[in-house]
Structure 1
Amino acid sequence: MPTRILDVVTNVGHYDDPEHRTGLWLSELTHAWKIFEDSGFEQTLVSPDGGAVPLEPRSLKFPNYDKTAKAWRADPARMSLLEGTRAPADVDPADYDAIFFTGGHAVMYDFLDNPGLQGITREIYERGGVVASVCHGYCGLLNTRLSDGSYLIAGKKMTGFAWQEEVLARVNSLVPYNAEQLAKERGALYEKARLPFVSYTVVDGNLVTGQNPGSAKETAEKVAALL
């Protein structure tokens, strides 16, 4: 059986203020997708509601818009994958060896409390599969509990988009909560790079997390190494 990875993407297209658009940070998907594809892994896209995935406008501008993102947008077959993602109810966790949560500020809204995604994550994690996230993707882990009722991230070393980076990105007044602080409140042993926006990843057992968009490739490489 081939190794299979479930890539999680968002359905949300704007902040609380509809004038401020957001969505999937495309390179966080495309960097990881290429690593997994080159490793021979099969991949499936899932989103909290299923269906279409909006793209974060800022991820489509230099320097964030790199060759992997451009190649994806130029490929109708790849773009069609973002129009018809699966819903959690259509996914059997037993079919997957890993789950990888992508980011973009949009995920702060629909990853945090999705029971379907939480159930899939719990099952994969508890049987020793890999649970991974990059950037804001860790919002999908913040409220996920294990079968014993404890938070999955409690006592685990991890990282994710830092509050300092929210401030530097000038969206700290737009985001619905401080994800870094919430991770710490859940008992996570949160870490971050000494400098913002540089690649930084943390591995704790079968939990792999990356801090920011620049960490997607390194995070995926570490997931692939575990698998």
Structure 2
Amino acid sequence: MRTLVISFLMLFIASNGLSQHKQSGRIVFVTSNQETYGDSNKKTANHFGEIVLAYDVFVKHGYSIDFISPNGGAIPIGYISKSDSIQNHYLNDTKFMKALKNTFRPTAINPSDYDAVYYSGGGSAMFGIANNTTINSIAEAIYRNNGIISAVCHGTAGITNLKTKTGEPLYQGKQISGYPDIFENKDAAYYKTFPFSIEEKIKQNKGEFRYSEKKRDNFYVIDGQFITGQDPSSTISVATQVVKTLQNQ
């Protein structure tokens, strides 16, 4: 009888298109506490759309999400489009907005609990992430455990210093996308506060930087365990490809 019950439950799960992995999977989002461009007075933020559009894809596929930031606690959000129904939905989701006000410190989580890491963008992402050794160690551990490293737009800045156990760039020889230099205004005050160029940093570390010469082109690349997108238009695609890759493992 017990065997019959177990067989029935497994058949029920399969017939409903579910899997044990989907039910128990977890993804960690990396965000930034930075409120200004460097030491200037010019405000910046995490890109709200790049957070919520990816979040929406993941939770609809059964994944649980945790947010981390270098200091934990509240993170600045911006680049909000209230005309976007998904963004509007989460702006009014008390539980979700509370999570953004109470992000975890990196030391509070266990990398082995997660199937993937996702770096969202916005100007804030250029600061406090790439050189955070604890965040880097989390992503590196997830990668070693056959997990996915994903990023969108300026979120790619966060992966630039990831290393193998032997000290080699983790993405050496891999195709990586992010916000390219051709779309940055290098003469602008905001850009002069950036600690580095994402494109140049990836190239210096022997990665193959890829991008479309068109903005908002839904451009993204998949190379092994790396799934990265050029700008906000690729957010949903990157998240969708993360889910597909995890489900096919």
Q: Which runs of 5+ in 2 are unaligned?
A: 1-19
Q: Which of 211, 217, 224 is matched with 2:236 structurally?
A: 217
- Determine helix, strand or coil for the equivalent of 1:203: strand
Identity %: 28
The separation in 2 between residues aligned to 1:151 and 1:225, in whole angstroms, is 26
- Determine helix, strand or coil for the equivalent of 2:28: strand
Q: CA contact under 8 A between 2:46 and 2:120: conserved in structure 1? A: yes
Give the Å deviation of 1:68.
1.7
The separation in 1 between residues aligned to 2:122 and 2:170, in whole angstroms, is 22
Give the Å deviation of 1:14.
0.7
- Determine helix, strand or coil for the equivalent of 2:58: helix
The separation in 1 between residues aligned to 2:217 and 2:194, in whole angstroms, is 21
- Determine helix, strand or coil for the equivalent of 2:178: coil
Equivalent position of 1:60 in the other structure: 80
| Two-structure CA RMSD over aligned residues (Å) | 1.8
Distance 1:169 1:76, change over 3 A: farther
More helix by share: 2
- Determine helix, strand or coil for the equivalent of 1:106: helix
Q: Which has the higher contact order (CA 8 A, sep 6+)?
A: 1
Equivalent position of 2:185 in the other structure: 167
The separation in 2 between residues aligned to 1:169 and 1:217, in whole angstroms, is 31
Equivalent position of 2:9 in the other structure: none
- Determine helix, strand or coil for the equivalent of 2:101: coil
Q: Deviations over 1:112-141 (max 9, x none)?
A: 100111101111101211111111111111
The separation in 2 between residues aligned to 1:168 and 1:112, in whole angstroms, is 20
Q: Which runs of 5+ in 1 are unaligned?
A: none
Give the Å deviation of 1:38.
0.8
Q: Which amino acid aligns with 1:116?
A: T
Distance 1:194 1:69, change over 3 A: same
Number of residues of Structure 1 aligned to a counterpart in Structure 2 = 223
Give the Å deviation of 1:61.
4.7
Q: Does 1:36 align with 2:58?
A: yes
Give the Å deviation of 1:169.
11
Instruction: Give TM-score, length-normalised by structure 2.
Output: 0.85
Equivalent position of 2:97 in the other structure: 79
Give the Å deviation of 1:168.
9.2
Equivalent position of 1:182 in the other structure: 201
Instruction: Give TM-score, length-normalised by structure 1.
Output: 0.93
Q: Deviations over 1:22-75 (max 9, x none)?
A: 11100001000010011111111111111111013xx1257xx62222221122
The separation in 2 between residues aligned to 1:183 and 1:105, in whole angstroms, is 18
- Determine helix, strand or coil for the equivalent of 1:128: coil
The separation in 2 between residues aligned to 1:22 and 1:152, in whole angstroms, is 29
- Determine helix, strand or coil for the equivalent of 1:33: helix
Higher Cα radius of gyration = 2
Q: Deviations over 1:56-99 (max 9, x none)?
A: 3xx1257xx62222221122221111111011100100100111
